[in-house]
Amino acid sequence: MRFARNVFRFAGWYGLAVMVPMFFLEERIGLDLPPPITHPEFYYGFVSVTLAWQVAYLVIAQDPARFRPIMIPAILEKTIFGAAAVVLYLQGRIAAPILAGGVADLLLGVLFAMAYWKTRDAR
């Protein structure tokens, strides 16, 4: 149980530290990773949904056994983006910093799956 708590607590706080500044970096991202963002509603939608997931991870960390079913979509959220980032990078469609975020998500997805497995007998 301790492992699951620590994994989800780390993921939530790490995600908040990464995502909150994104609300103020739209223009900078367009400069650093052109082209500029042309659909801000998609950008802010992504940032908002991702931020909400960070809060969900902190909720899971409070009682992993109780919130174990929510670990399944959490695993999917991390692994789907991570896998997509790898494929996009191999196709030359995203920059290395985006790949790094995808790899971090893949690692967290693996840790989430381990937490899910370790909490199987907790209830």
pLDDT at residue 123, rounded to an integer: 64
pTM given for the model: 0.93
pLDDT at residue 33, rounded to an integer: 87
pLDDT at residue 34, rounded to an integer: 87
Q: Can you give the pLDDT of all 123 residues of the chain as single tens digits? A: 999 999 999 999 999 999 999 999 999 999 998 899 999 999 999 999 999 999 999 999 999 999 999 999 999 999 999 999 999 999 999 999 999 999 999 999 999 999 999 999 876
The residue ranges of every structural domain in the chain are: 2-118
Q: d(Cα 79, Cα 112) in Å, to the nearest integer?
A: 10
Q: d(Cα 106, Cα 83) in Å, to the nearest integer?
A: 7
